[in-house]
Amino acid sequence: MSTQQLPTKRQHVLDAMKTAHQTLQSVNEGANASYIPYLASVPSNLFGIALAFTDGEILEVGDTRYDFAMESISKVFTLACVLEEMDKETFKSKIGSNASSEPFNSVIDLELHDEHPYNPFDNAGAIATVGLIGAASPEERWNKIIGTYNRFAGRELTVNDAVYRSESDTNAHNRGISWLLKSSGSLQVDPDHACDIYTRQCSVAITCRDLAIMGGTLANSGIHPVTGKRVIKEENVPPILAEMMMNGMYENTGNWLYSAGLPGKSGVGGGILAIVPGICALAAFAPPLDVHGNSVRGQKAGIFLSEILGWNLFKK
Ligand code: GLN
């Protein structure tokens, strides 16, 4: 579903978004994720780009109102949830903050580091991060996570049950990771519950517009760009952006950073989020992925816009 854009004072930005959309729409490299059967069924030609500026303006081009699964982009917002409760040094000592050169679902980093997670965006670190949320029950833990996501989105998000079922039926590998974490003392909660909550967070449905708005808070020092409410502490934004910078696109993070110069995060649902601190959040959605699990058109759109609009942080 495409949307009508209201008149904007940022016409040059909207023009650049339209150019990106038109020129990249025909790129047909990559393929939908298929290890989660539902994701293979999402139309591959969907393509949306949305920007949320720190003053609350939203710009949208293409399929920005289509619901898709957050998948690994959820890891950014669960990290935000935990950092509200735990200081960043404690978090770093428990989960880590270094880049990995392994695929997102690898167990090699666990093996190499005494079964200790390496960063919050690899699946192992993300599942361990879920376990750090202080809660007396899985329901309370889940409510804290979805409550955080809702505050970032400025609306109530829901789990896409079809994605959740599809992923729950096929997540034996992630359950295995959870039990490895348990065996090394890196997970203090029931491994199956932690994995289930992780699977639920990955199945939350958002639109490209939602994603831009969610990122807008990270571009705006923790204050929601539309509601003006504080969502997270200002001091928690830099460590989140640092994690995105280091590992947001998995083994392709270096290539992405080399060209876009922005902290980013991908999900195998086809979403991409990039943060331009103090200016805006950039969200793109296009299901076909590169071999590392990052949206091909989404990355290209981010790189194009960063270049043409002068947003590369290393050029400042
Ligand atoms: N739910 C997915 C998984 O655990 C998320 C992976 C991703 O988006 N990179 O495999």
List pLDDT tens digits, range 122-181: 999 999 999 999 999 999 999 999 999 999 999 999 999 999 999 999 999 999 999 999
Same CATH topology for 11-67+207-315 and 72-202? Answer: yes
pLDDT digits (tens, 9 = 90+) for 11-28: 999 999 999 999 999 999
CATH code at 11-67+207-315: 3.40.710.10
Task: Please spell the DSSP secondary structure of 96-147, one letter per residue.
Answer: ------S-TT-SHHHHHTTT----TTSHHHHHHHHHHS--SSHHHHHHHHHH
Mean pLDDT by 10 residues, the chain (316 residues): 72 97 97 97 98 98 98 98 97 90 86 84 96 96 98 98 98 96 93 98 98 98 97 98 96 97 98 98 98 98 98 92
Residue nearest to atom 6 of ligand 1 (CA): 72
Distance from CA of residue 305 to its chain's centroid? 19
Compute the distance from residue 71 Cα to the ligand 1 centre, in Å. 5
- Please tell me the pTM assigned to this model: 0.96
**One-letter identity of residue 49:** I
Domain 72-202 has CATH 2.60.40.10: no
Q: Ligand 1, residue 126: give the atom nearest the CA.
A: 4
Residue nearest to atom 4 of ligand 1 (CA): 123
- Compute how many other C-beta atoms are within 10 angstroms of the C-beta atom of residue 122: 28
In the chain, what are the domain boundaries?
11-67+207-315, 72-202
